[in-house]
Every structure is written in structure tokens, then in C-alpha cells.
Structure 1
Amino acid sequence: MAVSRDEIVKPRTDKREYRRIVLSNSLQVLLISDPETDKASSAASMDVGVGSFSDPVGLEGLAHFLGAVSFLQHMLFYASEKYPLEDSYSKYISEHGGHTNAFTDSEQTNYHFDVNSDCFEEALDRFAQFFIKPLMSADATTREIKAVDSECQMNLLSDAWRMSQLQKHVSNEGHPYHKFNIGNWETLEVRPKAKGVDTREELIKFYKEHYSANLMHLIVYAKESLDKLQGVVEEKFQAIPNHERSCFSFPGQPFLSEHLQILVKAVPIQEGHELRISWPITPWILHYKEGPMRYLSHLIGHEAEGSVFYALKTLGEYIIYVICAS
């Protein structure tokens, strides 16, 4: 049974129905019922409150490995105890008109999919098992380290990725923002093995310690009624373990005074000129209703004659990118 339930206030023009519930394992869920949705629009998204900032020292990229665009991410999508056939989840989704993906951010990892509505309940069951009893076999671990390494090698040819890593490099070494967050063969295989560390064992340990129901948020969107969706969610996600983990916090600043007001010049892979301006601001989540970054982005990025963008482009043929780092 859910331990709490709230109806959501919505605009009059919105015909969908919403309900927020909290399961007895402390998993927070938002249910969205849309009877008018087309047949291929049922979807779900699970957000886990742990990301690359929580990578263990010496195992950079572990959180990314656990997810689907990351290591743990990659590993969860492989197989579970209930569905042991490798990659059966992804195949099931694609064979039934859907898509699936995941990403690892600094403080969260997100898994999501959409699928034909008539296959949604089974897809949701397969999805839930990743957070209940994933297998994470030894063979899959080695293969996925190689996949992560290939992803990293491809990123080396991306100017956007290279500039992002450069920005991390010039940040405060004592802050987790400074870490190499993607992972590759060196950080996930060579260095751990040289120290006698088993990456798979560390992966399982990371999962058990951090993937707790009370740090997860689930959104389910389908054509069924709210009562129907609630029953399905309670049945399939109630078994996710709750280890009562505290939310992660990372005090300090990624950029101190000595890291500011500096000019860094870099040679890009592709020909062109870019001017990137970065500065620290108050974390945007504290002001999400006002959206101050939208104002800054609009004012600085506006291309009309007389704007900052227009002046810089006229003088130096630059493309301006505004990066607001919290």
C-alpha cells in the first residue's frame, strides 16, 4: 500500500489527470493518466539521486558505468534475475515500437523508456527489475567496460566534450566537479587491477550502497486511469530495497577565487572560433520558479543589432556560448 497520496492541482486546459504517491518503501511516484494519448505514448522515467560526484576515488566513471549511457547505467540495462536473457529489455522495447535510454549527471542518474501502450505493463515490469535484482555478470562487466571506453574515444573528437573536460581541469581539485566522470579502460580496468581492486565487486557495492528507494523518483505516463496505474506501480516497484540513505551533499565550490577571471585558449578539432564565458551562480534549483538563467541566456545570447552577441560577432566573428556553472 502507498503510505501517502496527493492529487495535483493543474491548469484548466490540461485534460490529463495527476496523482503523487509515496510507496511504503519511500519511493516517490508521479502518475499521469492521459486517455487521449496515442498508442505509442506510454512511458516511464526513474531518477536515482546519485551521480558521478559519488564515484569512488580511483574508480572514475563508475556511476556512469552503472547506467545506460554509463557503466552502472550500462550494466543495469543488461539483465535481471527475473529476466536473465542479456539485453532482452532493450530488444523488447524496440520490438514494440519504443525507445529506451539513460544518462548520468553530476548528482543523479536517469533511466527512461516509451513503448506501445498495449505492451506497457510488461515493459514496466522489466524496467522495475533493474532496481530490484539486476545480475551484473562478470562477462557483461568486461564487455561494457570496453563499450564505455569506445564511447570515451569517440568523445575525444568532440569539441564540446573536450571543452567540458578542460573546464573541469581548471576547477577546484578538492571538489567532485573536477573529476573525470565518463570513465574509460584505464580508470575502470587497468588502474583498479593494478591495485588489486575488482571493478565488478566495486560496482555491486556501489549499487547496494547508493541505489535506495528513498533516493528514487518515478514518473509513469499512460492512458489507464490513476487507480489502475497506482495498482500497477505498487505491485511492480514495492520490492525495491530502501536502505534509508541520506541525500548526497557536496559542500564547497567548484570554482574558487583563483579559478576565476582567467583566460584559457584551446585549439579545437574542427575549424572555427568560439567564445565561452563561464561564471558561478547560485544553484538554479533554489529559484526554479523565477528561472533567472533564462533571463541571462536571453539577454546575452540575443542576436539582434545592439546586443552583446551582435557586437562580439561583428568585431571578431565569434560564436558566443553562455555557460552558467553552479
Structure 2
Amino acid sequence: MAVANRELVEIFKARTDKREYRRTVLKNSLEVLLISDPDTDKCAATMDVRVGHFSDPEGLPGLAHFLEHMLFYASEKYPLEDSYSKYIAEHGGRTNAFTSSEHTNYHFDVNTDCFEEALDRFAQFFIKPLMSADATSREIKAVDSEHQKNLLSDSWRMNQLQKHLSIEGHPFHKFSTGSWDTLEVIPKSRGLDTRRELFKFYEENYSANLMHLVVYGKENLDEIQNLVEHKFQDIRNTERSCFRCPGEPCTSEHLQVLVRSVPIKQGHKLRIAWPITPEIHHYKEGPCRYLSHLIGHAGEGSLFYVLKTLGGYCTISVFPDFLIFTCSNLHDIDFYCYTSK
């Protein structure tokens, strides 16, 4: 197991940035970035866990996203349901989370005078969550409600269609959100206990060596580091290996395909997608941003300008999936037009 690391790492910042930064590694291998800003009126923290819906077990699509929901409920130290979210809201803060393909991220901000307790409540997500049977049943319904809302969103429908057109056995092909059917009906018909599988997924994947924590506080760096070491040192480290994609999500037979679909909303939309090398491999140069800027240019003579002259409403959105790290991303161009001609 690694020891606490105070090794100095040069952190580049803008000349006008007066904040202080420090990188450290706790004894349990949790990597931490500390930020000190004496002038701030809000403190904040975010925890990124290197596991997402690509790691959903077979037969339980949406489990990683469901776990993200469940960690907000209660912990052994703070057993009152929803007390974390209520504490943050009552002290001028906000909290949220998201699950992507290979990462799950949790974050909050709060008034400075309440930061220590807020951080302690936050740390319990990753130390001893409760995930009671009653809460599990209720939260599956909340996940399903989110899914039902997504069914009325053209962008969500297009994203799932894009997944469906990839290799069937690849993690990219999975249904990632979860629903009542995938988390309750189908598992029960197969003799699976979703809550038991939830704990198993948590125990297997939520390891300190797969986590990265950023803490932004008003105190000096030494005080923030002492606070972090005290609050987060009990997170287990099982030396879990990072997820790696088993090859690419698309072969030649999955490309050069034309699909027509009927939208929910009125209008016409064209999406062109092609696989590219993960942007993280070239994060300093940012080639996708250049591509997005050139194609999305709105000046005279541009593609946008030509479409706009047709009359009505027109937008062009160009974006890669920045949250896939170990296999090709899909770079999307969306053209949305509603014309009177």
C-alpha cells in the first residue's frame, strides 16, 4: 500500500491566479488535488471514480448509474435518509453527480463555515453507505422516471440508436441509464437480487486507487490536507485495475450506414458520426476543438451561412465524446434545421 506522498509536483497556473495548489497521495492510494483560495465564499469538492456504465455486469444494465443514485441516501455515520443533500441545501450549496462510460463523478459546493461537516458527509459515500432495501426499491422507480423522461428526448434516443449500431458484445452497445425493467423485472425473473448485486458492484469497483479527489477550500494547504487525510483515509483500497475496453466499438460493417428515424419534435436533424482517437491522448493540442471550430463556423461562406439562407431556424453542433478514454470516441456533427421553404 502506498504511503502519504508530499512530493512536490509543479502545477502550472495563470499569472493572475492567486490560488495555491498541491497534489498529494493518501496512504490508501487516493490521489488528491488541494486548492486554497482565502478569498472564496464557497468551498467545494469533487470525487471522480474510474468506473462507469461500461462496467455494468451482464444482465444488469444501468447498475453503475443506479449506484450513483443510491450513495446519496444515507451512510452508517449519517443514517438519516437524504440528510446529506438536505445539509448542503440548507447551507447555501448544491450537489449533483453523473455516470459516464468509464467514470462516475460526485461533486458539491457549500458555504465556507459548513465545509468540514459537508466534506465528512461526502466522504461517507465512499466509506460505508447503507443502501437500505426500502431505499433501493424507491430509487429504482426514480431511475425509471429519469428513463421515461429520456424517452421523450430526441438527443437521448439518437444516442441510444448510435449505441445499438455498434458491436453487440462491446460495452459501448449497452443501455446505460437503467429502468424498472432492467433493474427490477428482468433481474427478478432471473433470480437476481438487485440490492445484493449493487453491494457487490460497489465492493468490487469503488477502490481508493481508482479515485481522484479535488478539494477547494478557504484554509491554507496544510490545513486542507490534514482535513482530507482525516476524512478520506478510511476508504478501502483493493488495488482494483482500471477498466480497459475490449477493442473498438465499430468495425467497417458498422460504418457507412444510413439510418432514418422519426423524431419526437418537429424539425429535421442530420447527424454524422465517425470514430476518432480518444481526445485525452492529445489533450494539449486539442485537435477536436479545431475541427469543431472550423465546421461550426457561422461566418459568410460557411456551411451554417448557406443553411441559414434557406430561411427559418438552423443550428450546427459539433462535439466528440470526451468521456471515453480507452477506445475510439464518436465525433458527432448535428445539423438541425426548421425552414419555411
TM-score, with normalisation over the residues of structure 1?
Answer: 0.94
Residue 115 of structure 1 pairs with residue 119 of structure 2: no
Alignment partner, residue 5 of structure 1 = 7
1:289 corresponding residue in structure 2 = 284
Q: Distance in 1 between matches of 2:236 and 2:73?
A: 20
- Cα 1:151–1:157, aligned 2, differ >3 Å: closer, same or farther? same
Provide the secondary structure at the position in 2 that maps to 1:93.
Answer: helix
After TM superposition, which residue ranges in structure 1, 4 or more long, deviate above 6 angstroms? Answer: none
Equivalenced residue count is 318
Shift of 1:12: 2.2
Counterpart in 2 of 1:62? 63
Percent pairwise identity? 74
Query: Is residue 127 of structure 1 aligned with residue 113 of structure 2?
Result: no
In structure 1, what is the equivalent of residue 320 of structure 2? 324
| Superposition CA RMSD, Å | 1.4
| Partners of 1:143 and 1:274 in 2: CA distance | 37
Query: Per-residue deviation at 1:323?
Result: 4.3
Residue correspondence of structure 1 range 140-219 to structure 2 within 5 A: 140-219=135-214
Query: Any idea what SS the aligned residue of 2:274 has?
Result: strand
- Structure 1 255/265 Cα, relative in aligned 2: closer, same or farther at 3 Å? same
Change in Cα spacing, 1:309 to 1:54, as seen in structure 2 (3 Å) is same
Unaligned ranges ≥5, structure 2: 322-328, 330-341
Write out per-residue CA displacement over residues 118-158 of structure 1, whole angstroms, 9 at most, x where no aligned residue: 00000000000110000011001000000000110011111
Query: Which runs of 5 or more residues in structure 1 are unaligned?
Result: 66-71
What's the counterpart of residue 242 of structure 1?
237
Report the secondary structure of 1:79's partner residue.
coil
Q: What's the CA shift string for 1:267-303, capped at 9, x where partnerless?
A: 1111011121111111100000001111111111111
Deviation at 1:312, TM superposition (A): 4.2
Q: Say if 1:274 and 1:319, in contact at 8 Å, map to a contact too.
A: no
User: Separation in 2 of the partners of 1:97 and 1:319?
Assistant: 36
Deviation at 1:315, TM superposition (A): 5.7
Deviation at 1:175, TM superposition (A): 1.1
Aligned counterparts of 1:323 and 1:29: Cα–Cα separation in 2: 29
3-state SS of 1:47 partner = strand
Question: Which of the residues 93, 115, 134 maps onto 1:98?
Answer: 93
Question: CA separation of 1:144/1:283 partners in 2, compared to 1, >3 Å: closer, same or farther?
Answer: same
